[in-house]
Structure formats: C-alpha cells, structure tokens
Structure 1
Amino acid sequence: MINLENFCPNFCDIFESINLNLKEGLKHVVVRELLKHEQVHGVIGPQHSTEEKFVTELGQKVHVPIISFTARTSVLPDTKNHYFVRTAIDDAVQTQALAAICKGFQWAEVVILYEETDYGCRFISHLNKALQDVEIGQVHLVAVPSSAKNSHLRKELSMLNEKKTGVFLVHMNPSLGFRLFALAQKVGMMSEGYSWIITDSVSNFLNSMDSVTRVSMEGVVGIRPYVPFSDTLEKFKERWTRNSMVQNKNRGQVVDLNAYGLWAYDTITALAIAVEKIGPVNSSSLYAKIAKNGTKHGDLRISTFGPLLLRELSSTKFRGLSGDFELIDGKLKPSAFEIFNVIGTGERRVGFWTTDGGIRRQIINSSDHDQAKTYSTSTAELKNIVWPGDLTSQPKGWLPSILRIGVPWKSGYKEFVSVTDIDPATNRTHNPTGFAIDIFNETLKFLPFKIKYEFYCYNETNNDKWTYDDMLHGIPRKDFDMVVGDTTIWAPRASYVDFALPYSESGVILVVRNKKAFDMWIFTKPLRWDLWLAIGLACVFMGIVIWILERPVTNNPITPGEESVVKPETEQPGMNYLAPITVLAFPERKMVTNKWSLFVLVCWLFMAFILMQSFTANLSAILTVDQLKFAFSEDYYLGYQEASFIEKFLTEDLNINKSRLKGYSSVEGFHDAMSRGSKNGGIDAIFDEIPYVKLLINRYDSQYKMVGPIYRTDGLGFAFPLNSPLTAYFSRAILNVTQGPEMTSIERQNFGPGYSSQDPLSSTISQGTSSLTFHEFSGLFIIVASVTIFALICSKTSILSIRLRLTNMTRRFRDKYCCRTTKEGINADRKMPNGNQDDADAACIEVVEIPRSDEADNVVQDVGREIKGGTSSDM
C-alpha cells in the first residue's frame, strides 16, 4: 500500500491553491496546454460543474481518464463519457434515500428549496423522479440564487409560511443554507408543526457552523454518507488535526475532515494502486498519434497509457478511509447514508438508509441473510427524533389548525346525514349523525395522526333550493376545509375540489314497481295461438288414426274354441280417439291393443313430452326472468332526489325533458309518488344512486326493483381543497374502513338489518320473494270448472247417481236419528232398566219401520230403465 503522505505530502494544498488562484477560463487553458505539451495521462478534477463538460470532452478525445471526487452527477450521458470517473456517491442514490424518508414519515407533499446552479438543477431533476416514484407531490419549488441577500430569503420564507404544508427540504451550499435557517427561526418557521430535512450539501459541513446557527437548526433531520469507524481513520484524523494546527497556527482554525476530504484521499490511493499494477512503461509508446481537434484546441496527442490506467482503476478494490472503495460503471459503489438529528450543540444519529435494506436503526451485517433480504420503509425503525419546537411526536406534514368541516342540512334521507343543535350565530353543529358521519369517525382511527375539527352546517335556513354543488363551492371560498356528507364524486365537481376514495357503492340506476300486470290467461302465453291450434289438430288427427287402427280388433270373427268376449261400451274403439289425451293422465291403463296403435301413441307421447318441457321452461321465464325487463317510455314521469346532480345528469347527459322530472327529498316522498302513479300526479319510476335506491328497496321490501343499465358514477365521498395532503391520508383510511369488519355493522345501524353493500346479490334482487297467486291461473281454473260442470250436465247417469246418493244419505241420517229417539222412549215407557237390550232393539225396529216413499220408488224405476239394456252380469 502506498503512503500518500510520503508520495505527495502537499497534494491537497497544491490542488486547492491552483483552484483558488486560477479563473475558469485559465483552468481550461492550463488543462489543454498540459495535455498538449506535457505527458499527462490522468486528470484529477474538476471540482465544479462548469469545468466538467469541457474537461470531460477533452479526456474523451485524448483517452485520458478524468477523475473527480466532488462530481455527484454528470452533465454528459454515460455513453459519451467513458473516461470520466466519479469517486463520489451519485446524487440519484441520495435522492432515493430522501424520498424513502419522506415516504416513511407519510408526508404527502414537500416544499423544496435549492440553490439555483447547474448542479442544483441536476439534483432537483433526480429528486423529482425519486419523489414521483413514491407518490409524493411538490407543493412548491423555490430556486434561491447563490448571491441571494437576507431580504430575498425572508420574502421567500414569508410566502412559504402562508401555505398549509410544513415539510421543507433544503439543498444549498453551507453558507447560504446557514443563513436560511437563521432567518427561518426569526419568522417562526422553526417551531412546532414544521419539519426540515437537509441534504449532504449542508450536513457535510455542520462542524464549521457557529453556535448561533446551530441553535437555529435544532430539530432538523439530515442525511450524509456514512463513514464506518476504523482504527486507520482515527489515526488519520489525529495526524490531520495535528498538521492542521501546525499549518494554521497563525489563524487559530482547524479544518475538519468531511466525506469529500476522505473521498479525495481514497481517490489518490486508488490511482496510486492502479499505477503500481501497470508497472514500468516505455516512454516512446505512451502516445499513439496526433488527433486533429480543429483550430479551437489545436493538435492533441492521444494517450495509450490512459486506457490502461482506466482499466486498472476500474478494477481496484480496497478498504479506504471512507469505507469500501469500488467503482461500478465509472461511479463509486453506493454505500449507506447516515440519518441524524440536530440536537443542542451536536448531532444524534437516529438510523441508516441503504439501497438494499431501506430504513434501519442499525447497519445490517451481511451474515444476517433474513434481514438483508427485506426492505424496510417504516420510520418506526429509527430512534426517537426531536422535531422543531421540542416536539417528540412526528409532525403530520402541514401546519396545525382546526379543520372546518361542512355538513349539509336536509329534510330527508337523514340516514346519511342528520344535523341538529345548530348555533345560529356561527352555524356550528356539535353532534351530527348518520352513515357519512359514522364513516368519518371510523376513518379517523386509521389516520397516522390526530386532527382537530369542528362541524359547520350548510343550508341552516332549511332552504329547499339548495344544492350539493353550492355546498362544495364553499371549499374554494375557504368556507370549509373539508365536506363530510353524502356527496357524489362527479367529474364536473373535480375541477374545483378533490375527493377521497368513495365509501359507498357507485352507480345510478332506474327503479320501478315490482308488480306484474294482472293477466288471468298468463298460462297461455308460453305458446302462441298457432302452436296451440297445431297441438289441438294433432290430438284430433292421432285420435282418429288410433280409432281406425283399433276398430278391426272388435270386428274380428271368433275362432273355434274361443269364448265370445264383449267389451264394455267405454272400451270400444269408438272412444279411442281420446287416447292421446287420456294417456297423459292415466299412463298405467292399457288404452290400445294394436301394436301399430301403440307405436303411434308412443310417437305422440314423445312429442307431448317435448312440448310440456318447453311449455314449463317458457312459463317459468315469463313468471321470473321476463319480469325483470323494463322498457322506459318517454311518456313516463321520473322522480329524482332534490339538491343532487341527478336533475342535471338526466337533462344534459340523457336528454330527458325537464317537464317529465319531479324532485323529492325523502324515501317516503318517493314511495307516495310511486304508489299514486303518474296518472294521479305521481311518478312511474325513480332515477337515483344505488345507496339511496337500496335504502328504498330495503324499507319497502319487494315492492320495487332495479331495472335497466347502471350509469357510472364514483359513489359518495369526502371533498377536500385541490391538492390537499389530507386527500391521500383519508383515501387510505377509507379503504381500511370499507374493507374492514365494521362496515356491515355501520350500514345496518343506519339503514336496517337487511341492508348490506357487501352482499353481491343485494343490488339486483329484492328482499322479498315473488310468489305466484291465484290470479295468474284463474283463467285455467275457470276452464276446468266449466268443463266439469258441462260434463255433469251432459251426463244423465251422473245426475241420477248423485240424486240416489243424496237420497241414501238422507235416509241413513233419518233412520239413525229416529232409531235413537225411539229407543230412549221405549226404555222410558216400559221402565226396563234391567231389560234385554235385544228386545229393545226389536221394539225399535217395529216402531221406526217406514214404507218407501214415492220419490224413492221413482228413483229406482229410473235407474232400472237406464240399465235395462245391460247384461245379467251388469245387474
């Protein structure tokens, strides 16, 4: 290992004197002349971005490595600066650490103050990308000139103090940054509620600030490259301090070491190691040829030693004063960043950030594989931080204030918002209730901070002409900081307010009465008249065919030895034309005897089975699915909720005539209007958002149903000012509420036990069941009753049979009654308590024997005449 103190003991002094004494143009001339006339095969520098582009282009042309321990970014693309080596950590890595810290503290927006230089602008470009990757916005971007006076700084700070955001990120040179913090303390911006973060452009030089500046920066959080402890580093610091005291004895000031000084030492060490690896080189072969570079730079020699030096330098690895030295793609390999907190007269380390481990309290050892694989984004890993104003709890990211929350007063739908106890002087309300208020209160539990708020009523005069748009316009007018209520997230409103994620179902839909029109002939609807006619003709045709096929069976002559069998009249072939119908009701009977008749009957049964199944399916569809169809007519009157956006949506987006619209403010009003109908001054349908529609259906069970398409809206949500940091916090909290177990209980508490937005079927199916009634099939019962009565009238035998049955029932009743009465009288007259019961019965028979009446004789004679033509077996 080369001892650089012996190799070049006065290197730093010589390098610094050159940079201080030479102007920029003179530096360019010196570098160019050295490359042209001297044997220069490597350049250490530049230190400023204005020199970088010129020197890098020269090095690229003559193949000479340009080595810089101060350049954190590059002005040229990596493809054009192969010979530019940066031995400092890239700013892109630092911006990732800053973004991770802001994300860990859950700050939605930050204010960035930076020095207006080329280097500052390049740093901001990296920072913007890093913040966008973690979804953090920028409220304000303040560019401060390097020569800015205190008056200019004070003016900028006063403007920033008027904004709600209290998170500030500072990237400036040390002298400008120290003046900024001293003025920030004077204007009251280093107090409770503010948060300040500094980059390593300031934090690397904290040791050089005075005590007054240090007091003004108390509570600031900063990051800087982490320099691990080592014995070599401690010994070097001792020698540095001793030499500085000797060299600066007249000034009485000791220059403290920082990361840049350590990177410079490690850069010279790496360069010396690379030169030793190359070894002796023939001086005659150091240059290949002369490069024609134009009249501007003259002729420059191309180095053959430069590529060798670049190759060996890129492969050099060692443990330096600043940590592990290793180059990757011409840049120093990223190491950890130290997170510290300015407290009192010093700094307190609170944690680290690494590219692979994220935010940690301690550096992860490579042996701990489980922790090394995880990336932490939580600032809970850090030690306790003391913020400005001696605040130990984390600031929420904006200036503390009491939020004015607007809530609407409405005459109906108080299940969503109900306002009482209004102070007439201030319009403040203390105890609003309802679904929206319960969601708001539950959301507060999931916020990472506590907020103070007060509810203020809108429409406290109970004006029926108020609208939600009027209430939302109070946010840009600074009347409210937030609106909590059943406010619909609608695109035209997004131009002047921001909305958090919705806490209810989204969509607008049409509602109609869930009542079918009375139709006593509905059972005939599944088949059209032509099919009914075809079925009837088919029955007649097949009946005739079967009658023809069965007729020869009864006319066959009787073969010798067979007994003559005469079928009853009911089984004669003349009645077989009814077989296609009777077989459906009495399949177990043998209707036919001919095998061809059986074949025809089987074909009929197959066709009848298909027709019956089709009839059943179509009737089911008519009674269920078809009832969900609804065709909107232009003659219908539509109801909408007053004060909502629905009226404008119907007239402007759906082009419905305003004369067909009627506004209502409550569920009861809608129900009454729907019950009366448009012919009686009511409405035919309701057009409203799904949460209100479900409340109506849940209250009146199966009297209403949703029909038609769902028109997209984003549901109900809380409104905020444009670009408010609260929007993101409430959106995340609302997700936890709506997807949590408390959502169902909140809904049922406000809307009733049957309401649930998490039920996938509840938005399309009513709570009641659609049962069939007698009315739907009354026509069928009328037909069956008519045919039955007609058959009874046409059948004389049936009438006589009924008359005979009625007469017999009357006789048995009379005989039984008279017998019991007579027996009681005989026993009483004879006074035979111990008499024989059989004798009493015989006496009873003698008393109750009654000759036949003329009516009974006539009935018997009529029956005899009817069966006179029958056989003896029939008798």
Structure 2
Amino acid sequence: MGSLHMLVPLLCLMSTAFGKASVDDGMHAKKKGTIGLITDNNSRNGKEEIVAVKMAMEDFYHYSNQSFDLQIRDSHADSLQAALAARDLIDTQKVEAIIGPETWKETTSVADICSQNMTPVLSLADATPDWSTLKWPYLVQISPNQFKQTKAVVAIVHSFEWYNVNIIYDDTDSSSTRMFSRLYSDLSVSGVHISNVLAIPSLSSSSLPQELEKLRNGFCRVFVVNLSVSLAINLFQTANELKMMEKGYVWIVTDPFTSLVHSLNSSTMSSMQGIVGVKSYFPEIGLQYEHFYSKFQKKFSSENPHELNSEPGIFAARAYDAAWTLALSMIQTTNKKDQTLLDKILLNNFTGLSGKIQLTDQKLDPSDTFQIINVMGEDYKEIGFWTNGLGFSDIIGPNATFNSSMKELGQVLWPGRPWGTPRGWIQALSKPLRIGVPVIDPLKQSVTVIQDQTDNTTTFQGFTIDIFRATMDLLPYHLPYKLYPFNDTYDNLVKQVYLKNFDAVIDVSIISYRYQYAEFTQPYTDPGVLMVVPLKSKVDHRAWLFLKPFTKTMWVLILAMVIYNGFILWMLERRHSPEITGSMLNQTGTMAWLALTPLIKLDGDKLHSNLSKMVMVVWLFVALIITQTYTANLASMLTAERLEPTIDNIDQLRNSNIRVGYSSGSFLKHYVEKVLQFHPENMRNYGELEEFAEAFRRKEIGVAFLEIPAAKIFLAKYCKEFIQAGPLYKVGGFGFAFPRGSPLIPDVNKALLHLVETGKVSELENKRLASEECEDREVNGETASLSPNSFWVLFILTGGTSTFSILVYVFRMNYANSEEKTIWRLTTMIIQQCNHAKRRMSRKVSDVAENPTSSSTTHATPTHV
C-alpha cells in the first residue's frame, strides 16, 4: 500500500488532465464522509489552501471514485472564530476530521474542541510544541516544523562576518514568539551579539516609525525579521520612508513571509529591494508538480480574480497533501468517530507535493532544507539552498556540493545596490573615536605620554601605541581616531568606556571583573604574572671544588687509563731499564711514575723501547688535552659567580613576613591580596621599574609581582641582580577595551591575529627589549662538569695504541723464544757430533801407539778399509 501511495497523487493528476470526468460527476456520487477546513479566507495562504483542498478532493475522486463533502469555515485569523467554526463543523456538519488552521493560536482552540469530541485535526501550523500531542491526543501536525531555519539565518550572518544583529518579531502570535526565542538562542550561542530587539504588537502600531528611528540611530545595520505578511509589508514600507533600505543596511527575513513573497504586488516589492530571505523548500519539479501547477493557476485565477499572481506556494502544497492524507485514511475505515481514523492517518506513507508524508509521534519530521532568495526588481531570485548539517549549495540532489559560506552561491543584491558586501554597522558618531591611553604605565617601553606645555600638544610612543596603530591600519575600512591621555587607575580607565567618555581604551589588562564595564579584544602580549626576587650566592662545599671540573665517571676512567698505560709501559721497559728491578713495591712505583709522567711534566723519562715511545707519545697528547681542559674548567668555576633565588616558591613567601611589591594603579593589588592571599600590611606599590630595583636594594621588599611584559624588561635590565622564581600565574594579558557589543571587536581581533601570525608583534617586542638586553648572563648557572662524552675518542686512541703495542711486544717475544730454541738444538747437535768424533779419534790414536804393526798393515792394505 505504501508504494501505491507514492504514485496516487501523480496518477490522479494525470487522469484529471487527460480524462473526461468532471467535478460535477463527483457531486452526484455517494459521499464517503465530510471534511472540514478552517482558514483565513482573506489571507493569501488561506486562499491557496482553499483552492488546493478543493483540487485534492476532485483529484481523489478521479483516482478512487470516492467523493467527500467539503465544509469551509472562515476563522478571520481569530482564535475565537476558529473555535466557533470547529464547534459548528463537529456539531452541525458532523465532520469526521478538520484541516487547519495555520496559526498556532487558532490551532490550540480548535485542537481543544476536536480532542473533546475525538475528531482528528490536521494542523497546518508549523510550530507545534512537543507537548501538544500529549495535551490534545487528536492533534496531528501535517506541516513540518520550520525552527531549523534559524540555523540557516546564523549561517548567513557568519558567512559575511556580521557579529551584531537586530531582531524584529511579532509578539502577537505564540509561534512567532517561540521562533524568536530559538533565533535569539542560536545567534547568541554562535557568538553573534543581539544589539536590539523590536517586538511589533500589531499592524496599526503608531510607534513603529519611532522604534525604527531608534534602531537607525544605533550602529548595527543588520536586521533579522520574523513577521507575518501584513506586518512585514508595513515594516518595509516604513523602513523605506526612513531611508533604511539604502546602502549599508542588511535585511534577512524568514518564513512565513518569504513563502508568500511571490504573491506581492510590484509597489510592495519596490520597498523591499535587496532583502535576503530563508524560504521553505519543496521540490517544484517533476510531472506531478507540473500538472498541479497548471491546474492550480487556472482554478485560483477563476476564484480569486483580484490576485495578480496565481502561482502556488508551500501553503497550497501542504494543504493539498493534508487533504489527500485525510481522504486516503477515511476510505480505509468504516467507524470514523473513534481511534480507528486517527490510526489510519498516522499510518500514511507517501511522497506528496510538499515532500515526504510520514508521521512520527503525530508530527512530520522537521524541515532540513531551505531555499535562499534575494528580492530584486518585481520578483525574487533563487540564490541557492541551505541544508542542516551540510551548508550551502547551488542545487539539491546527489550531485550537490556544499560550502560553509553563502558567498560561494554568487553575487547578492543588497539594499542600495552596493558592489561589495555591507559592513553591517555604521559608526553612530561622525567624529573620530576617542581612545583613552594610561599615563601611569610603569612600563615606559609600552606607553610613553609626552605632554608639551608650550604648544599644548601630546605625543604618544611605545610598544602598545605601535600595536594599536598597526591594528587600525589593517582594518578593512578607514576608522578615524584620536588618542587622549588618562591619568588615573586602570580600573577607572576601563570604566570610562562604560560611561561613554571614551570609545575605547588601550594597554589594559584583561580581567574578569572588568567585563562588567567593557568587552576586550584578544591579548597581544603573553598573559601572566611573574614573581621576581633578588639573587644570592650559593654556599656549597668549595673545599672539594677541585673535583668538579670532571664527573665521577670521568675521574674513574682517567684513573683506569693511568693504571693501564703504566702497566703497558712497565711491560715494555722492564728488560731494557735496569732500574725496573727489585721488589714488587719498587716495580709498582716505577710503573705509576711512567704513567703519571705525562700528567705532571711534558718530557717524561728516557725510554728505550720504540713501542714504549709510541705509547708515551699518544698518552702524552691525550694527557695534555685533559690537563688543559681541567685547568680551564676549574678556573671558570673559581672565577664565575654562582647565584640562586632568595625565595624558591610562594609558599615559602607566605610563611614569612617578607613584603611584596606591585605596580601602582594596576589590578595586581586586587590579585596579590585576593587571589594570592597576601596581607595588605605586607604589600607596597611602586610606579616605574627603577623604583622596584631601589626598593629591593633598600630591603623594603623581598618580592615583586609583575606582569610578563614588565617582568621581561625588568629582568633584562637587572639580569645580574634579580631572577624569576616560582610558577607563571595565568591572567588575561594586555588588550584593547571597547563598549560591550561593539561591532569593531571582530575586525580588531582579526587584525591583531594577522599581526601575530606575520611576526609583527614579535618584531615590535624584540625592538622594545633590545635596549635592555643583558650580555654574559650567568644567573643561577654553574659551569658544567665534563663527562667522558667529550673525550671518548681520546681514550680510545690512547687505549688502542697501548693495546696494539703490547700485542706487538708479545708477538715478538714469542717469535724470539722460538728462534732461540731452534739454534740451541742445532748447536747441541753439532757439539754432540763433534764430541763423538773427538772420542773416536782419541781411541784410534791410543790403538796406534800400542800396536804399530797393526798400523802399518793397515796403511799397506788400504783396499780393505
């Protein structure tokens, strides 16, 4: 059934367009029930609703061959008349259900009577509260809630960077009042300031010109209007006469007025040129709407010949869908005086002319999409669309691209036809802004006021003056101003803005309690308060200072390297030096002397081995660097003054009776006493920074609390006497103060932010500190002890050289021992052979002496040898 419901409006319209049946045919058919319609017959939306409901009844007859009796009653836009009409329809005409009316005030009267008689009422009012269906169970909201259009208004305001608006609304209707409440809330939450609110009580209000005159004399030129058609027409005609529809003004209007702009005549439109409207959207495309559009124009023109424009609007589409919904429900039920008809109404699910018809909790879902229009000439231009949660777009559909700014939709024609976007405000005073400048500023680098009595001129110089002038130069418009000196406290200076003696003041701290008098820009300095204390010399164990040039690890490594190199030299020299003999104690002393010699003198003892000389040369090089570094670091420690703060933290300060200082005329008196909780008897105030230094030296104070800009100058100038101690105490910083709701603040903030991002503020601040820069600062700093990280390459070099030398020595020793053993074995063999030969010769000689014959015989017969 749901899919069929999506097609029935189109099918019936086509059958009406191409079929031969007429409405009169349905008049003779058996009636399926009676439907009531309550509306204002004299209003444009009421006329559209009457024609649309009649068309729906005719189209439904051609679709289903079912006809209904339609009873129309005129409410005259009065709740009592609407209630009487509902009573007549129920009691006399026996209607099964009622459509309308479109205002919430009339709807409450009708809903009360209908619920008592269990008769469903399909309300065309678009501002039905959530609790309404609980109070009136037979009330059904058949038109979607339009409250989300307030978010579209907020998006338009933000698109053009307007941060102040005036609101004009109708307080005679509760729905308009609720719309105003929602609009006020959404604008405020988004950061838009509501400058003025004008409630228009009735059409004949004689005070309207006077009220608009008051708005014209203000600075805000952006107006958001939520009025009925009649009140809106009167408003714009009056505003046109007061020349409030000219260049510089912005008018943003909402529904229900925008949905009826198409019905206005040319003379009325001429007084509304350039307004931007948020209009209820419904898809005016497709075959279904084309048939409805052509048929509506013919029927509307015949019934309302005095209306110049016969085009249907959103009210006609909603009334058509409401009648179709009711007719579908009535043919599906037989007992229409109980809950059954209401249940059938709530089950409808189809796509009508105005959009999706599907009820949840007896209401249609709120509208999420609105059309943005711009009145120009005798008609209006469709600029684009706004969809909740997505933004602005040129089209509606899957191919739509969304943007957060309305500027992306194209050029808008504003009142007076300006080429650019209106600024949204106009300075109420024709003369330059009066800017108050403090004279008592203790920081002359920030503000210096030089008054020349001879020619009665005043010169303003300093960091803050430069920042303010640079900010004014960056504004997108020319804003004349003049600086005036003010010789009093800063609190009184801010109060002058509230008293309207100054249009703005500069060089003031942003403090919460000052917001009751003015509104501040963002800070242009670092926010915070610092505690400044004198320096004192550290008292520590100076008897052991000679060990401080090196870390413990460094000393251990040096000792290890001394022992290692001494051992290597002893090994290499013990065979060459006769003095390396004797007892173990004597040899140990000689080994230590060889290793320590490079640390004590540069020549060392005479060495015999080449390997020893190589080790000594490298160790001598490393020792020379180590000793020279030690000497330099120790000298620095002995000569440098090592200092520390006299007070470490604020708790230590509170526990003592030390007096504290603060700047005269500043908020610091309140801050030190109330926030930091110091007794007033222990507080002293001073003017210039030099007075703080003298007070420290005279022991009048032990601590001074200064804001960061002053503290930076003070510590830069007296860097060797004073230091920051304790944490940073957060406060607002320095800024400019303007009247509450001033339209200048957003532009000034934007300009200040640009100065910060481009580095201009840092450049000016560095320039201010340059003259007080302190050189060779040693405050609370010690000369650091040196670790092996600075010498590891040297230790590897000497250790590697020593290790290499001992390896070469061991290799040589092993080789020499092997060669010696080989020669000894050969010599022993030769000697053994020689001894053996000698013994044989000796035996032969003895034998010859004893037996000569034997010897002759032997010689005579050599062949036998």
TM-score, structure 2 normalization: 0.64
Residue 496 of structure 2: which of 458, 466, 474 is its match?
Answer: 474
Distance verdict in 2 for CA 1:60–1:413, change over 3 Å: same
Q: Specify the code of the residue in structure 1 equivalent to 2:375.
A: V
Query: Per-residue deviation at 1:719?
Result: 0.8
Write out aligned runs for 1:354-369 (5 A).
354-360=387-393, 362-367=394-399
CA distance, structure 1, for counterparts of residue 452 and residue 135 of structure 2: 71
Write out aligned runs for 1:111-122 (5 A).
111-116=166-171, 117-122=173-178
Q: What CA deviation, in whole Å up to 9, does each residue of 1:655-696 have, x standing for no partner?
A: 54568625132x44444554xx226xx654432212211221
Query: Per-residue deviation at 1:484?
Result: 2.2
Query: Per-residue deviation at 1:217?
Result: 1.6
Query: Per-residue deviation at 1:428?
Result: 7.8
1:718 aligns with 2:739: no
Residue 510 of structure 1: which of 531, 534, 553 is its match?
Answer: 531
Query: Contact 2:78–2:106 at 8 Å: present in 1 too?
Result: no
Query: Per-residue deviation at 1:705?
Result: 0.7
CA distance, structure 1, for counterparts of residue 660 and residue 451 of structure 2: 35
CA distance, structure 1, for counterparts of residue 292 and residue 542 of structure 2: 103
CA distance, structure 2, for counterparts of residue 394 and residue 57 of structure 1: 49
Residue 697 of structure 1: which of 690, 705, 715 is its match?
Answer: 715
Write out aligned runs for 1:332-481 (5 A).
334=367, 336-360=369-393, 362-367=394-399, 371=401, 376-400=403-427, 402-409=432-439, 413-419=443-449, 432-440=460-468, 443=471, 449-450=476-477, 452-459=479-486, 466-481=488-503
Write out aligned runs for 1:735-750 (5 A).
737-738=755-756, 741-750=759-768
1:643 aligns with 2:665: yes
Q: What CA deviation, in whole Å up to 9, does each residue of 1:400-448 have, x standing for no partner?
A: 355333333457523223456989999786xx5533344445656886x
Query: Per-residue deviation at 1:121?
Result: 1.2
Write out aligned runs for 1:560-571 (5 A).
none
Query: Contact 1:66–1:85 at 8 Å: present in 2 too?
Result: yes
CA distance, structure 1, for counterparts of residue 358 and residue 346 of structure 2: 13
| Residue matched to 1:629 | 648
Distance verdict in 2 for CA 1:408–1:427, change over 3 Å: farther
SS in 1 for 2:268: helix
Q: What CA deviation, in whole Å up to 9, does each residue of 1:37-89 have, x standing for no partner?
A: 77644321223323322433455566543213344434744555564333333
Query: Per-residue deviation at 1:120?
Result: 1.6
Write out aligned runs for 1:652-667 (5 A).
654-657=677-680, 661-665=684-688, 667=689
Distance verdict in 2 for CA 1:210–1:419, change over 3 Å: farther
Distance verdict in 2 for CA 1:337–1:422, change over 3 Å: farther
CA distance, structure 1, for counterparts of residue 450 and residue 683 of structure 2: 34
Query: Per-residue deviation at 1:240?
Result: 3.3
Query: Contact 2:535–2:645 at 8 Å: present in 1 too?
Result: no
Distance verdict in 2 for CA 1:266–1:406, change over 3 Å: same
Q: Specify the code of the residue in structure 1 equivalent to 2:515.
A: A
CA distance, structure 1, for counterparts of residue 313 and residue 544 of structure 2: 97
State the percentage of identical aligned residues. 26
Query: Per-residue deviation at 1:237?
Result: 3.5
Structure 1: where are the runs of 5+ without partners?
Answer: 288-300, 526-563, 572-618, 756-761, 774-875
Q: Specify the code of the residue in structure 2 equivalent to 1:436.
A: T
Q: Specify the code of the residue in structure 2 equivalent to 1:180.
A: L
Query: Contact 1:63–1:306 at 8 Å: present in 2 too?
Result: no
Query: Per-residue deviation at 1:224?
Result: 0.8
Query: Contact 2:170–2:199 at 8 Å: present in 1 too?
Result: yes
SS in 1 for 2:536: coil
SS in 2 for 1:473: helix
SS in 2 for 1:404: strand
1:206 aligns with 2:261: yes
CA distance, structure 1, for counterparts of residue 242 and residue 458 of structure 2: 33
How many residues of Structure 1 are paired with residues of Structure 2 in the alignment? 636
1:146 aligns with 2:210: no
Query: Contact 1:326–1:333 at 8 Å: present in 2 too?
Result: no
1:108 aligns with 2:163: yes
| Residue matched to 1:316 | 350
Distance verdict in 2 for CA 1:399–1:707, change over 3 Å: same
Query: Contact 2:52–2:296 at 8 Å: present in 1 too?
Result: no
Query: Per-residue deviation at 1:170?
Result: 1.2
SS in 2 for 1:18: strand
Query: Per-residue deviation at 1:26?
Result: 5.7
Query: Per-residue deviation at 1:386?
Result: 2.5
| Residue matched to 1:49 | 104
Q: What CA deviation, in whole Å up to 9, does each residue of 1:452-497 have, x standing for no partner?
A: 13131214xxx6xx32233222212323222222x11223422212
| Residue matched to 1:820 | none
Distance verdict in 2 for CA 1:475–1:343, change over 3 Å: same
CA distance, structure 1, for counterparts of residue 351 and residue 108 of structure 2: 27
CA distance, structure 2, for counterparts of residue 29 and residue 213 of structure 1: 34
| Residue matched to 1:678 | 698
Distance verdict in 2 for CA 1:513–1:469, change over 3 Å: same
1:126 aligns with 2:156: no
Query: Per-residue deviation at 1:717?
Result: 1.6
Query: Contact 2:535–2:722 at 8 Å: present in 1 too?
Result: yes
For the aligned residues, what is the CA RMSD? 4.4
TM-score, structure 1 normalization: 0.63
| Residue matched to 1:559 | none
CA distance, structure 2, for counterparts of residue 706 and residue 24 of structure 1: 74
Distance verdict in 2 for CA 1:772–1:253, change over 3 Å: closer
CA distance, structure 1, for counterparts of residue 653 and residue 776 of structure 2: 20
Q: What CA deviation, in whole Å up to 9, does each residue of 1:800-840 have, x standing for no partner?
A: xxxxxxxxxxxxxxxxxxxxxxxxxxxxxxxxxxxxxxxxx
